[in-house]
Amino acid sequence: MFHVKLFHIDAYPELRLLEAIKAQLATMDHPFDKQETRATIIITIRDVLWKELPESYSDESINYYRDAVYQYVSQRYGEMASTLSRSRRMTSSAEIWA
């Protein structure tokens, strides 16, 4: 018999951070190619870290984690975001020509 543990996303701050980033990426066109969208992602990461991490974390630590999370996200989701952007454009073009 399999036991499935259900969890609430609020119990896991790292999942809230990832979900916030993924939701933001879904609305962006080539998010890692443009300075403005990169900055928006970085600000989102920083804001969630400020909210979720204990006050004992220094600004320096938060900046370190912000950069580490951004690097992970850009490597992990960068190509996926570009592919999604291309498919959205193709769908939009197809709808125009339909």
Give pLDDT tens digits for 12-49.
Answer: 677 888 888 888 888 888 888 889 999 999 999 999 99
Mapped to the 3 state alphabet, what secondary structure does the chain carry?
CCCCCCCCHHHCHHHHHHHHHHHHHHCCCCCCCCHHHHHHHHHHHHHHHHHHCCCCCCHHHHHHHHHHHHHHHHHHHHHHHHHHHHHHHHHHHHHHHC
Q: Based on the number of CB atoms within 10 Å of its own CB, is 1 exposed (0-12), middle (13-18) or buried (19 or more)?
A: exposed
pLDDT digits (tens, 9 = 90+) for 38-85: 999 999 999 999 988 888 999 999 999 999 999 999 998 877 665 655
Q: Is the pTM of this model over 0.75?
A: no
Tokens coding 38: 């990169």
